[in-house]
């Protein structure tokens, strides 16, 4: 009996799909270290407000020990009270450290201080500190570019570098480093000339370390949230050009609690690139490169959709940019 050509094609496609799904499952569930924060030392920058504080609360609910870092001690003390109230056992600890993430000396001190105060090296590190103040390119000063590069990119690089050294030298098993980028690390448009490049840079660093740190059994993840309802978002909107607001649309900023839960969901699923909404997923699939997929079949179809939709949206953005005053 001769099998029709179309049937052979379907069988081949089915076999490829099964293999791809199996590889996805193998990578996300077996090759990657499972995410288990219970009794782990979690080190969070930007931990006094917004995503950082909400993530600390969610981790303390999972039985973790948490160190939060930010510049203002008064804000850290307030956040620590909220986090302490969510402990599930009396042995859990919350440590606060005042430090400036734009200073590599402060970053090194903060990680060493966390090690001493907590009695263990940080095993899960999440870099939530960041800022944005959108403006037209010519309205920015070069000081704006330097500051945002120091905080949004170098600040995360400083933390990851020192944390990796500590994990390596103290033989930490199953370490995790979680970078926080943005959907503006997957695309950009008018108003984000100083901010978006720093978030693209984080993507490049994370992609490199995802591969390189396998030698130390350290997993790397990167988070691409949309707008988050936080004190920083209020500041951001105060300088944001009207055309930027129009391009972004009227979608509400995400509650930081829900954002933290979305991040944890991605970590528990073993995903490398983690987003918070459908548009983020489409952008992730369109720009994934050779990084691991979250679901081969879904990622494939979203990548196909992204091409025509992206082209149309680019025309829309260019039209608005040309008309902007």
d(CA 16, CA 150): 45
CA-to-CA dists, residue 325 to 133, 241, 254, angstroms: 19, 10, 29
Q: Which of 153, 192, 195, 272 is catalytic?
A: 195
3-class secondary structure per residue, 119-136: CCCCCEEEECCCCCCCEC
User: Three-state DSSP class for 23?
Assistant: helix
Residue with tokens 């983690």: 274
Strand 175-180 to 273-275 pairing: unpaired
| Diameter of the chain measured on Cα atoms | 79
- What stretch of H or E contains 42? strand 41-45
Distance between CA 95 and CA 117 in Å, rounded? 7
The residue from 53, 176, 199, 240 that is catalytic is 199
Query: What distance in Å separates the CA atoms of residue 180 and residue 178, rounded to the nearest whole number?
Result: 7
* SS3 per-residue string spanning 215-278: HHCEEEEEEECCCECCHHHHHHHHHCCHHHHHHHCCCCCECHHHHHHHHHHHHHCCCCEEECCH
Rounded Cα distance between 52 and 256, Å, is 8
Residue 150 annotated as catalytic? no
Q: Which two tokens stand for residue 81?
A: 């009270």
Q: Is 195 a residue of the active site?
A: yes
SS3 117: helix
Angstrom distance (rounded) from CA 33 to CA 167: 15
Residues assigned a catalytic role = 195, 199
């Amino acid at each position: 009996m001769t099998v029709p050509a179309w049937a052979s094609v379907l069988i081949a496609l089915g076999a490829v799909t099964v293999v791809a799904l199996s590889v996805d499952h193998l990578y996300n569930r077996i090759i990657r270290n499972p995410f288990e924060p219970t009794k782990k030392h979690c080190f969070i920058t930007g931990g006094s407000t917004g995503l950082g504080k909400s993530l600390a609360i969610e981790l303390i609910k999972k039985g973790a020990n948490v160190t939060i870092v930010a510049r203002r001690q008064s804000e850290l003390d307030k956040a620590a009270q909220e986090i302490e109230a969510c402990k599930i056992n009396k042995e859990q600890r919350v440590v606060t450290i005042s430090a400036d993430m734009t200073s590599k000396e402060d970053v090194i001190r903060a990680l060493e201080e966390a090690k001493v105060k907590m009695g263990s090296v940080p095993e899960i590190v999440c870099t939530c500190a960041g800022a944005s103040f959108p403006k037209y390119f010519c309205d920015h000063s070069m000081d704006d570019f330097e500051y945002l590069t120091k905080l949004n990119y170098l600040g995360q690089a400083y933390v990851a570098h020192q944390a990796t050294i500590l994990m390596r030298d103290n033989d930490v098993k199953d370490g995790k480093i979680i970078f926080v980028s943005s959907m503006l690390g997957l695309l950009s448009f008018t108003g984000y000339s100083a901010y978006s490049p720093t978030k693209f840079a984080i993507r490049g660093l994370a992609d490199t370390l995802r591969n390189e740190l396998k030698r130390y059994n350290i997993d790397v993840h990167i988070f691409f949230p949309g707008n988050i309802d936080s004190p920083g978002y209020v500041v951001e909107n105060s300088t944001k050009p009207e055309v930027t607001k129009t391009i972004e649309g009227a979608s509400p900023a995400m509650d930081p609690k829900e954002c933290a839960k979305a991040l944890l969901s991605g970590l528990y699923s073993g995903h490398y690139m983690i987003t918070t909404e459908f548009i983020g997923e489409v952008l992730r699939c369109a720009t994934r490169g050779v990084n691991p997929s979250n679901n081969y079949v879904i990622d494939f179809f979203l990548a196909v959709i992204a091409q025509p939709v992206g082209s149309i949206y680019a025309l829309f953005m260019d039209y608005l940019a040309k008309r902007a005053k």
